[in-house]
Structure 1
Amino acid sequence: MAADPGGAAGPAGPAHAVPDARRRIPRTDALLRDPRLLDATGRFGPERVKSAVRRAQQQAREGAVPPDAVADAAVALLPRTASGLRPVINATGVLLHTNLGRAPLSAAARQAVQDAAGPTDVELDLTTGVRARRGRTALAALRARVPSAEAVHVVNNGAAALVLAATALAAGKEIVVSRGEMVEIGDGFRLPDLLVSTGARLWEVGTTNRTTVQDYAGAIGPETGFILKVHPSNFRITGFTRAADVGELAPLGVPVVADIGSGLPAPHPRLPDEPDARSQLEAGASLVTASGDKLLGGPQCGLVLGREDLVRAMSRHPLARALRVDKLTLAALEATLTGPKTPTEQALDADPEQLSRRAELLATALRADGVDARAVGSRATVGGGGAPGVTLPSAALSLPEPYATALREGPVPVVGRLDGGRCLLDLGSVPAEDDRRLAEAVRRVRAGER
């Protein structure tokens, strides 16, 4: 039979001389021996890594990935962290940004959390071998930080501290509170609803803008559990106002519970109007409740400080067990209290001139790389309900507005703010050691990378 003049080949002809590229896709076991995927298995577990490998192999079968790049594709499909939480650079200028987890922990606190991740002596006396008070060293550190308190206790957040006080000291009784202090504490949680849920009854006194000591005195009776003083969060009332302070209320003959919210342990020169635990106790407060993850600069927890008999009643109440903190929180809290300055303290004490120099250096370096970057003055805020209305002198890196979204979506997310059609990266909330990472993130956007 004559050969086909068109050169068509039979089943064994040239069309099958080159193997199908899909046959070159590496086997799963071979891919899992890649050092990067071996390391990922230790961080994410074998099933998660195998799933990424299978997805990468499927991409190669569909022609989207070359066979020799399957391992790279599998690595790219893996998450950056073992949880859904992603570390970000907070360049908003809000020191305690609630949406970003409030206070960043110090290096000492982070190390303490890592050290406490395994078995610890959290409730064991290693000398005697018998059960010991839970978190005793953290409680001792808190007591030492605020020596005006006779006793201390720690629960899982600031609202829990107030709930435990109301439950242990005023369930079935009355809590006397000013109408001007019936606040909403965030995310729709309102103080009246929180307190009433404990079985206490609220006796509101005064008006929105004016409450006197006589208003409180007129409400006190045999059913009074305590007087509650609440520091307003995220707002200020100005003008024709009057509020009775703790020193005026202490002589009225019933316990005074001061909820200071932001957890400042002692007065701070840049926050002259922010209540602190030491001053409130010295003025006569029976108890102070506060958050640990705000101006204290520690982990999320609720602090209870004050009279020994009241703190004991709270700590021995059945609800205290449901509100207790874990060993990691205790470790971070103790390291915060006994260690060096926290990032929050450093930010509060930052030198405005030094912030300006950092901004100028960053802007100059980025302009050399073709970025429209400028150093500008700025005003930072405390955030987290602390020091409402107070601003702190700061400096920022000003970039074109589109950078805001690109930086937020980058591999190292940077969260800034928009102001006057520009993206501002406020250095008041950025530790100096993060300047290099900040600049790299901006350069990545300039280069069109994500």
Structure 2
Amino acid sequence: MSASDLRHLPAVEKLSHQLSKSQPLPKALITNFVQSQLANYRAKILAGERFTREEITADVSSQLDIFAQSRLQPVINATGVMIHTNLGRSPLGSRAAGALNQIATGYSNLEFNLLDGQRGKRASYLETALACLLEAESATTVNNCAAALVLILRTLTTADKNEVIVSRGELVEIGGGFRIPEILETSGAKLIEVGATNKTHLKDYAKAITEKTAIILKVHRSNFYIDGFTAEVDTEELSALAKSKGIPLVEDLGSGAMLDTEKLAPIEHEPRAQECLRKGIDLVCFSGDKLLGGPQAGIIAGNADMVARIKSDPFYRAVRCDKLILTVLQESIDSYLDSKANPELSDIPVLNFISQKPADLKIRAQAIIDCLPAEIANQLDIVELDSTTGGGTMPKSKIPSAGIAVKSAKSTASQIADAMRKQKPALVGFIEDDTYHIHLGTIFPAQDKLIADHLRSILV
């Protein structure tokens, strides 16, 4: 192939200008993207491949569309999965979002004492509020739960005492493919496995304790469950053993439930940090953006001396929270404290989703259908569905819910799903039995009009 065939390459500036009309992205970014794409085509042409100018232009335009869609943007969650990791986990309440806007767009007293004009301590209010909510001696927070666990392990292990005892039934894999053994290895700890996958007894822990034992670690199986011929050690019994040997007992709770989940919906009880600490756990850690309903954060609570030691670790500064996370978490915790006596007044969306009644969702579904013309309404049915909490929490829970089934003679379920994702804002539902479903259990009431608009736009 002659280099003269490079004439088929469009001019960078001309193509960038053309594409900028259809994509609201910074022009410099579009130009950079086009240059990169055309450089790839240049290499292919010089290697002997053939392309027309039209083929190149169409492909670069398509690739730019894909790139533009990767930009963070609002999405309507119609999947029925409340803590959807791919869709940003738990949404924030209006209280937290309002406070975030105030702090993010101005200055704050992040490390400034307004009373004496001297430098103040970061997150002192939040840590006190957290300890109050969790009924703990002390509490602190870092940027995610994995970092919290690494800090705990770094602080409570030494070169001479680095063994961490964990039941084989609790060696879980969390999001992104990370596994508890790998997290232990990162911290420099040595894993000591005890028991079997389905059964672990107190004698297994007792037998594994040596002079090198630094921690007994419990890991809550929040993203899966084991049923059948099973047994695990009662927390109070394990705490008594740990205390008799002078060994810290730590539990990674993962999901971060603050309220009795069985009171919100007909689902199982999820262990709360408060009850674990009352049963003798020395330190707990859990995520902020799951059942807590706050931002991505890792919360550590329990023994005051241990928390103080964790905060003095140099690694603590590397994973500490910035003002935005602290603001959202502060408002989320205050919301819990304000609504402690009246959970129904909670400003935590995920808790409101869990406690929704199917009958109320059916009324909303009917209202959406009623505002549409007959030719569209005839393609829709109100159906009973189940919601799930998601986000690696309560894997057995199925929460009664409702939604809308879309069945079109002109479009397949996959075509409807594709069209919904291309709307503004994008709507992400699910397909079951060749039917597209819009699950109202994870849709805010204020978004119902958008649902009707999307249906009107697609099912014409």
TM-score, structure 2 as length reference: 0.78
1:439 equivalent to 2:452? Answer yes
**Correspondence for 1:196 among 166, 185, 188:** 185
1:393 equivalent to 2:361? Answer no
1:138 equivalent to 2:134? Answer no
In structure 2, distance between residues paired with 1:296 and 1:267 = 12
**Correspondence for 1:206 among 192, 195, 212:** 195
Q: Which runs of at least 4 in structure 1 moved beyond 4 Å after TM superposition?
A: 44-51
State the AA in 2 paired with 1:260. Answer: L
Cα deviation, 1:35-79, whole Å, max 9, x if unaligned, reads xxxxx9xxx87967999xxxxxxxxxxxxxxxxxxxxxxxxx999
**Correspondence for 1:301 among 292, 297, 303:** 297
Counterpart of 1:246 in structure 2 is 235
**Correspondence for 1:357 among 360, 363, 387:** 363
Counterpart of 1:113 in structure 2 is 100
Cα deviation, 1:328-351, whole Å, max 9, x if unaligned, reads 000001111113421111011112
Mean CA deviation greater in 291-300 or 275-284: 275-284
In structure 2, distance between residues paired with 1:437 and 1:239 = 45
How far has the Cα of 1:404 moved from its partner?
1.4
In structure 1, distance between residues paired with 2:347 and 2:80 = 19
State the AA in 2 paired with 1:150. Answer: E
In structure 1, distance between residues paired with 2:129 and 2:27 = 41
How far has the Cα of 1:112 moved from its partner?
1.4
CA contact (8 A) 2:285 2:301 kept: yes
In structure 2, distance between residues paired with 1:327 and 1:46 = 31
CA contact (8 A) 2:268 2:397 kept: no
In structure 1, distance between residues paired with 2:78 and 2:70 = 23
Counterpart of 1:126 in structure 2 is 114
Counterpart of 1:263 in structure 2 is 256
The structure having more radius of gyration, on CA atoms, is 1
State the AA in 2 paired with 1:383. Answer: G
CA contact (8 A) 1:378 1:426 kept: yes
In structure 2, distance between residues paired with 1:249 and 1:186 = 28
Is the alpha carbon distance of 1:187 and 1:155 closer, same or farther for their aligned partners in structure 2, counting shifts above 3 Å? same
TM-score, structure 1 as length reference: 0.80
Cα deviation, 1:142-167, whole Å, max 9, x if unaligned, reads 222212x1000100011111111111
In structure 2, distance between residues paired with 1:433 and 1:91 = 14
How far has the Cα of 1:141 moved from its partner?
2.3
Is the alpha carbon distance of 1:109 and 1:302 closer, same or farther for their aligned partners in structure 2, counting shifts above 3 Å? same
CA contact (8 A) 2:169 2:199 kept: yes
In structure 2, distance between residues paired with 1:171 and 1:99 = 37
In structure 1, distance between residues paired with 2:80 and 2:437 = 9
Equivalent residues in 2 for 1:325-404, closer than 5 Å: 325-339=321-335, 340-366=346-372, 368=374, 370-371=376-377, 372-400=379-407, 401=413, 402-404=415-417
**Correspondence for 1:163 among 111, 127, 150:** 150
In structure 2, distance between residues paired with 1:49 and 1:206 = 57
How far has the Cα of 1:83 moved from its partner?
8.9
Report the secondary structure of 2:110's partner residue.
coil
In structure 1, distance between residues paired with 2:372 and 2:205 = 59
State the AA in 2 paired with 1:88. Answer: V
State the AA in 1 paired with 2:293. Answer: G
In structure 2, distance between residues paired with 1:120 and 1:300 = 21
State the AA in 2 paired with 1:251. Answer: A
State the AA in 1 paired with 2:376. Answer: G
State the AA in 2 paired with 1:115. Answer: Q
Report the secondary structure of 1:116's partner residue.
helix
CA contact (8 A) 2:222 2:253 kept: no
Q: Percent identity between the aligned chains?
A: 40
CA contact (8 A) 2:290 2:391 kept: yes
How far has the Cα of 1:114 moved from its partner?
1.1
Mean CA deviation greater in 400-409 or 282-291: 400-409
CA contact (8 A) 2:261 2:269 kept: no
**Correspondence for 1:316 among 309, 312, 315:** 312
Counterpart of 1:23 in structure 2 is none
CA contact (8 A) 1:158 1:302 kept: yes
Equivalent residues in 2 for 1:62-73, closer than 5 Å: none
Cα deviation, 1:338-384, whole Å, max 9, x if unaligned, reads 13421111011112211121122223333535241111000000001
Name the count of aligned residue pairs. 383
In structure 2, distance between residues paired with 1:188 and 1:438 = 34
**What 5-or-longer segments of structure 1 have no aligned partner?**
1-27, 29-39, 52-76
Considering fraction of residues, name the structure with more helix: 2
Is the alpha carbon distance of 1:320 and 1:415 closer, same or farther for their aligned partners in structure 2, counting shifts above 3 Å? same
Report the secondary structure of 2:221's partner residue.
coil
